[in-house]
Amino acid sequence: MDVRQLEYVVAVAEEGSFTRAARRCHVAQSALSHQVARLEAELGTKLFERTSRSVRISEAGRTLLPHAVHVLRDMADARAALDGLAGIIRGRLRIGMTQTASRTLDLIAVIGEVHRRHPEVALATATGPGDELIHAVREGQLDIALAGLTAGGPPPEITFSPLVDPEPLVAVVPLSHPLARRSRVGLSELAGGGFVEFRSGDTLRELVDTAFAEAGIERVVNFEVGQIADMVQYVGNGLGIAIVPRAFTRPGPAGAAPGALVHVLQLVDPALRLTIGAYRRAGRDGAITNAFLDLVTHGID
């Protein structure tokens, strides 16, 4: 049993395919299949159930998998520690980010700068709901997730570090709305209009739902969408009102002004804000992650 074979087993288990696993590991499928078969022969058991249409991990494979992941993590940490002594930053950094974190922290620009400064680091990114990204960190599929702090806090074995001041949520209404003459508004004053909401199950939606529930205020949700920028566009086209992170009402990196067709109101409730930070596995900090977070918190010179 060697490290390369364990890497192949993890890749096949995570990809559910020998073809995709070989592509991920940058080897020929025949070579990867041969090494997995050699390991199975050495262990005297099948790690995968193969058919002409699918590959499923066996009970023996499920038993081996967490140990293989642990060994590969320890090897990566050892390499990173030795590289740190030599002043070298290389390896792999898998970054997860929510829409709000990406917009608030300008993460694409930061990732580009990491690539320029540390070309030997293999970078990969994923976007999605915060809970999915945090789960991926916990399972070892991501090294770090940038997302809002959830109501229940981070799960066991995961640490959370705030990166910037809490991001306020603001109300956006059409320019023709009666509230468009105001600068501040309370939740009760918004309740009479139809809402454009973010999809259920995300930290943003949870925060807004909780605020209205605790205030004892009911609201009508007319539209649910999966992109926060689209929520602002819905409002701009007179389809309702919305509560979004303030960053989505300011010009984006490309210079677009998403708030040009809406009026932005501060919310009286000070609790409506998102704390954006980094989720990591406890004790898994390395030179690559630290270099990335240093650029996030201190900016690009």
DSSP 157-182: TEEEEE-SS-EEEEEEEETTSGGGG-
User: Does residue 77 sit within a domain?
Assistant: no
130 in a domain, yes or no? yes
* Shared-domain flag, residues 65 and 189: no
Least confident of 5-19, 105-119, 253-267: 253-267
Q: Does residue 74 lie within any of the structural domains?
A: no
Cβ neighbors of 125 (< 8 A, separation 6 or more) are 94, 95, 96, 97, 111
158, 290: one domain: yes
Domain tally for the chain?
3
Q: Are residues 27 and 149 in the same domain?
A: no
Residues 94-120: tens digit of each pLDDT: 999 999 999 888 899 999 998 898 888
For 152, the token pair is: 């229940």
CATH number of the domain where residue 95 is located: 3.40.190.10
Asked if residue 293 and residue 150 are part of one domain, the reply reads: yes
Read off the pLDDT band of 84 (50, 70, 90).
low
Identify whether 116 is part of a domain.
yes
| Domain match, 231 and 292 both | no
Q: Is the pLDDT of residue 284 over 70?
A: no
pLDDT band at 254 (very low <50, low <70, confident <90, very high): very low
Enclosing domain of residue 205: 167-273
Indicate if 59 and 193 belong to the same structural domain: no
Q: Which two tokens stand for residue 124?
A: 């990969």
Cβ-based neighbour number of residue 266 at 10 Å: 16
Q: Which of 87, 65, 67, 64 is nearest to 75 (CA)?
A: 67
280 plus 156 within the same structural domain: yes
Question: Do 246 and 114 fall into the same domain?
Answer: no
In terms of domains, do 150 and 179 share one? no
Residues 8, 93: Cα–Cα separation, whole Å: 19
Is 83 a domain residue? no
- With respect to residue 78, please indicate whether it lies within any of the assigned structural domains: no
Distance CA 137, CA 97 (A): 11
Q: Is the domain of 255 the same as that of 228?
A: yes
Residues 100, 291, 139, 44: is their CA dihedral positive or negative?
positive
CATH number at residue 61: 1.10.10.10
- Here the tokens at position 34 are 């041969």
DSSP label at residue 16: S
Taking only the tens place, the pLDDT of each residue in 146-165 is 999 887 788 888 999 999 89
Task: Report whether 229 contacts 248 (CB < 8 A).
Answer: yes
User: Residues 177, 178, 183, 186: is their CA dihedral positive or negative?
Assistant: negative
Say yes or no: 151 and 284 in one domain. yes
- Chain-wide mean pLDDT for the chain? 87
Asked if residue 269 and residue 171 are part of one domain, the reply reads: yes
Categorize the per-residue pLDDT at 285 as very low, low, confident or very high, splitting at 50, 70 and 90: low
Please report the pLDDT score of residue 256 as a whole number: 45
Q: Is 184 helix (H, G, I), strand (E, B) or coil?
A: strand
Give the tokens for residue 108: 């694409």
Residue ranges in the chain assigned as alpha helix (H): 3-15, 18-25, 29-43, 59-85, 99-105, 107-117, 130-138, 187-190, 203-214, 228-236, 287-298
